[in-house]
Amino acid sequence: MPLCIQTVPVPAYHQTLAPISPKGFVVCNPKRPLHVLRSKIGGSIHLRRKNHGTKIFLGCNGLVSANDALADDRVKKRNIVEHIFLLRAKSDLSDVEEKDMLDHLYTSQYQMSGIIAISLGCIEDPNVDNFTHAVYMRFQKKEDIARFYVNSYYSRVLKEHVTPYCYGSVSVDYESEVEDDILSIFRRGEEFNHGVECILLISIFDTAPGDAIEDALATLQNLILQFRPFIVQATQGYNLKLTDSEYTHGAVIRFPSFEALEAFRESTEYKDMWRLKFRPIIRKAVLTHFSVDPVGTELM
């Protein structure tokens, strides 16, 4: 499987898969203080989150106010393009080789234009596709990621520092929106210096009914909104490289902590969503995560 694939236009059929929002959804408010998460089915979630050395306990019951969703619609948004790159490292990969690979992938942002945010790390949970490492990058527009794929420096990084250590990979690109704010666009500030990056890839059957796809994606969007206090930022969209990838949709969700991620994926709402909405229409899915360590506090 090639490590890099050219970006291609999205076929018209797939452009109709998620009519609820042509750019997917976005949840982002790193400057908003934490408050009580409210769940549509009641019950409670107790979460310990570290914030500047202080442990904060959160609980949930009741309903999310509709005003929150309406407020999001009034916020000015900026289009961005997300790039997900999952790797299968060889079993004999040494610590030195792993560091060499990740260092060169991370510092590629300083050697070429277009990359406005990046995070990467070792995948911390087992998955059916045996992915071991994940790279996430953000670009301002599709033209930037098209130039990224043919950049000679990045091609050399893959050839000399990635391909020798890996036996397979998959990449997904999608267009979405974020709040038109420098911290949100460039993923800067205290909230983005640490946490857990959660990556979701979904492969939907070609024969899945359009209304069922729309309903499933709308349910995921609503679940993200319900868990806003546990989420730093979330985006999703349909894959721009459908002819070269088995996955039709991707999502990236930044959680402030592993406890927040666990509260999300262990919730009754999340489990019901997968059982009732997604399992009947998907061929396969990968939900994985990696930890993000502090790399500095100043804006680049």
Q: What is the pLDDT of residue 34?
A: 37
Q: What is the pLDDT along the chain (300 residues), one digit of tens a residue?
A: 443 333 333 333 222 233 333 344 444 444 443 333 333 333 334 444 444 333 333 433 333 333 444 445 678 899 999 999 999 999 999 999 999 999 999 999 999 989 999 999 999 988 989 999 999 999 999 999 999 999 999 999 999 999 999 999 999 999 999 999 999 999 999 999 999 999 999 999 999 999 999 999 999 999 999 999 999 999 999 999 877 778 999 999 999 999 999 999 999 999 999 999 999 999 999 999 999 986 543 333
CA distances from 85 to 4, 88, 89, 159 (A): 9, 10, 13, 15
pLDDT tens across 121-145, in order?
Answer: 999 988 989 999 999 999 999 999 9
Residue type at 242? L
pTM for the model: 0.77
What digits encode the pLDDT tens for the residues 196-228? 999 999 999 999 999 999 999 999 999 999 999
> What distance in Å separates the CA atoms of residue 135 and residue 144, rounded to the nearest whole number?
17
- pLDDT recorded at residue 281: 97
User: What integer pLDDT is reported at residue 48 of this predicted model?
Assistant: 40
- Choices 1.10.10.60, 3.30.70.100, 3.40.50.1370, 3.30.300.30: CATH for 14-63+77-292: 3.30.70.100
* Interatomic CA distance for residues 228 and 233, integer angstroms: 9
Strands (E), the chain: 26-28, 47-51, 54-58, 77-89, 115-122, 133-139, 166-179, 195-204, 233-238, 249-255, 282-292
What integer pLDDT is reported at residue 22 of this predicted model? 38
